[in-house]
Homo-oligomer: A and B are copies of this chain.
């Protein structure tokens, strides 16, 4: 069961107006919306506000009722009714008249994009503030303004929504995504809606690997989750993907793992090559999302991010231009297609080993010119490719072999499936710690 890009776009537009933060009703409603779509069991993990987790304090819930700046005549300058990015996330309640000078300390603008409202937060410092366009900023000529901020800050629980789709093997593929951002579409509603669609797809079929999806707030979410799941993940995860920025921008991007050589890195590269896609590669030095937690030294999971235009690299990033128009149904469809290819490939891949001593009698299985001695060595017939596949099926992955024989991995996959069906190749699931195969092994 594969969803359509326009359905993903509808979900995204439904979620867009909610005022999400790390903890609070905005993210809770968003998670519940996605949980209802999932088509399989899901579970909430709860981490109470105020708990210290590995040096981080779980914030209180934050609820935005409304906030605005007025001039002294009562004319509304900006209001969260227009766009909830106007108020800095976690702004404390406030009401009062302030001079323009005082107000300036609580304003943020984006001079380089005069029509955009920048995204800002004040999670860990009690404060309040407004983000306004540079155009609005220039119109503030009065000497004083009135500020109304109706927010609630109160203890609650940080929530992680977890979906596990069991497979034949206990080895796991992990997908992590986050939705603590308020009204922004590519970063970050595209990841959660794509993750939901992938979970629906996997739930509708039988799988070799177990798939785990995590939805929650960025950074503190994985930190909480890892605090009580790190050992379990280390024992099972063979590939991991951070789902972010998958709905907008014209480019494709790969943020590599620290080593750049895990199975997750390699499958991304081979899939890009196989699909003849141009893409940019970013070293782990340019990281900026939840791989910061999952690839950290005491966690060391093999995680990469396969994105459209990367966070920090596109104009609409972290401002009000990242809206439902920036993310299109077409882009979501393309990303879904890519990731379904990824899942198809990964679920069939593993540690490949020839079951034959020497070459098999391939003529039994694949078409061969009936008059021998006349083989065109360069031909790319199934016969020849199967022969290459078996020749290198020496405890490496299909992804490794695609790289070694320089053949598109998606075209190699049906040939592998035939070889497995014919009893010529055995595929064992990847195991943690074996997910990275150095080139020299073949």
Contact = CB atoms under 8 A, between A and B. Distances in A.
Interface of A: 54-57, 88-89, 108, 118-125, 127, 129, 219, 222-223, 226-227, 230, 258-259, 261, 284-288, 292-293, 295-300, 312, 318, 353-354, 356-361, 363-364, 370-374, 377, 387-388, 390-395, 405-406, 438, 440, 442
Contact of A372 (B120, B230, B391): B120
Contacts of A371: 88, 108, 120-122, 129
Contact of A356 (B57, B298, B373, B394): B298
Of listed A54, A219, A353, A390, residue having the most chain B CB within 10 A:
A54
B394 A300 contact: yes
A358 B54 contact: yes
Contact of A358 (B261, B293, B391): B293
Contact of A296 (B129, B312, B354): B354
* Chain A to chain B: the 7 pairs with minimum beta-carbon distance, closest first: A121-B372, A297-B394, A297-B354, A293-B358, A55-B361, A56-B361, A223-B358
Contacts of A123: 372
Q: How many copies does the complex hold?
A: 3
A297 B377 contact: no
A122 B372 contact: yes
Contact of A226 (B295, B358, B387, B405): B358
Nearest to A121: B372
B374 A288 contact: no
A253 to B, nearest CB: 14
Contact of A121 (B284, B373, B387): B373
A357 B230 contact: yes
A226 B55 contact: no
B122 A358 contact: no
B259 A440 contact: yes
Contacts of A88: 371
B297 A393 contact: yes
Given A296-B391, A297-B393, A297-B395, 7 more contacts: A89-B372, A122-B370, A123-B372, A223-B359, A258-B392, A296-B354, A298-B356
Contacts of A372: 89, 120-124
A258 B120 contact: no
Contacts of A108: 371, 374
A270 B354 CA distance: 32
Nearest to A300: B394
10 contacts: A54-B361, A108-B374, A120-B374, A124-B372, A223-B358, A259-B440, A285-B405, A286-B377, A296-B390, A297-B390
A375 to B, nearest CB: 8
A275 to B, nearest CB: 22
A386 to B, nearest CB: 13
Contact of A298 (B124, B125, B357): B357
Contacts of A287: 391
B358 A299 contact: yes
Contacts of A405: 285
